[in-house]
Structure 1
Amino acid sequence: MQPDSEFLTPEECLEVDKALLTSRDKFSARVAIYSLRSLKQIAQASGKTIANLDSTQIEDWIYQDESLQGGIDNEFKKFFSKLVIASINPLNQVAAANGSPIEELNIQQVVAWFEAKAKAEMQSKN
């Protein structure tokens, strides 16, 4: 869990905000960054790789995350847990694009992948 009890750090927010992304893509990038950080922490605490984490471990972590405690009910936490679990798929794609395991990804790589994906989607529409 984050010691400062913030969903994203100011630096993480800045990386996403300066990206050329739609609001929807920025939301997805923010969730992926939170997920990456959380998954790294869960993996480290459990002594497992991110690929070997199960959904129960992830849900338990989300339910205990201090940044999600203030006025947030369990239904939202359940919903958000599903978002974090679902974010493993794009994080796997980011890792594959960078030729590294998820554990070695950084915020800039995640944001760059979302930008590249958005650009490709825009070009395919034109």
Structure 2
Amino acid sequence: MADPQELSAQFLTREESIKVDAALLTSQDKFVTRLALYALKSLKQIAQETGAPIENITPQQLSAWIEKDETFKQEIENDATFEDFFTRLVISSLNPLKQVSQAANLPIEDLTVEQVIAWFEKQAKLK
């Protein structure tokens, strides 16, 4: 499987990566933030394709989306456990995204990169 930084470089735009790198977060928190941002993008795509609200997307819907996405084809061919692993990562990112959504008083679909990063920075300060 690819290195986490390589994956985040593939899944986030350069600008998004720069914003996360500039955040006052530990390396671990930056990784979790990147994961949440990528999950948000993925969940928005799935919601758009299925018409389901992000909060209602099931692991099965996510798994089906991963299977048909060409971006993941090589990862799935190289590692039989990748689909399940990635599905669990994205689904677990729903928890902090729901918290960001509540804190911003916005639906998950309307969250911005800046709002997600700011929430993670705030949580890091509370640690």
Could you say which TM-score interval applies, normalised by the shorter chain? 0.7 to 0.9
Report if aligned partners of 1:7, 1:67 keep a CA contact under 8 Å in 2.
no
Deviation at 1:74, TM superposition (A): 2.9
Matches within 5 A, 1:12-31: 12-31=16-35
Deviation at 1:68, TM superposition (A): 3.0
1:86 paired residue number: 92
Higher relative contact order (CA 8 A, sep 6+): 1
Deviation at 1:70, TM superposition (A): 3.5
Q: 1:55 is matched by which residue type in structure 2?
A: P
Q: CA RMSD in A?
A: 1.6
Deviation at 1:55, TM superposition (A): 1.2
For structure 2, the residue ranges without an aligned partner over 5 or more in a row are 1-9
Q: 1:109 is matched by which residue type in structure 2?
A: Q
1:60 paired residue number: 64
Match of 2:79 among 73, 97, 112: 73
1:124 paired residue number: none
**Cα separation, 1, equivalents of 2:30 and 2:84:** 21
Q: What do residues 75-115 of structure 1 show as CA deviations (whole Å, max 9, x unaligned)?
A: 12311110100000000000000001101001111111000
**Cα separation, 1, equivalents of 2:80 and 2:27:** 26
Is 2:101 the counterpart of 1:95?
yes
- Equivalent pairs counted in the alignment come to 117
Work out the percentage of aligned pairs sharing the same amino acid: 52
Which segment is superposed worse, 18-27 or 55-64?
55-64
Q: TM-score, normalised by structure 2?
A: 0.85
Greater fraction of residues in helix: 2
